[in-house]
Amino acid sequence: MVAETNTPERDESDAVGSVARDQIKAFVARIERLEEEKANIAADIKEVYAEAKGMGFDTKVLRQVIRIRKQDRNERQEMEALLELYLGALGEI
């Protein structure tokens, strides 16, 4: 049987590999934890929309309001102006 010799290069490579493995494990654990938190938050948001719907609010409109509020004011005004222009061109307004 031939014994393996540990060369300095191999020891260094194993040490680097071990550090990289530990870092990868840490990243994966963090991402998995955040994905779980994201799923919980999504479920909470869904419950809020269901509650609003139960009180008679239109959830499609609420979602649109949320989307609009995320936009920059200038970007939103530009989009609204273009929307009016396009609808006007079609004779819709």
CB-neighbour burial class of residue 23 (10 A; exposed 0-12, middle 13-18, buried 19+): exposed
- Amino acid 42: pLDDT: 98
pLDDT digit string, tens, across residues 24-58: 999 999 999 999 999 999 999 999 999 999 999 99
pLDDT band (50, 70, 90) for residue 17: confident
Angstrom distance (rounded) from CA 66 to CA 48: 13
> Mapping DSSP to helix (H, G, I), strand (E, B) and coil, where does residue 91 land?
coil
Q: Which residue has the tokens 């269901």?
A: 50
Tokens of 21: 């493995």
Consecutive H or E run containing 65:
helix 59-70
- Amino acid 6: pLDDT: 56
Angstrom distance (rounded) from CA 6 to CA 30: 34
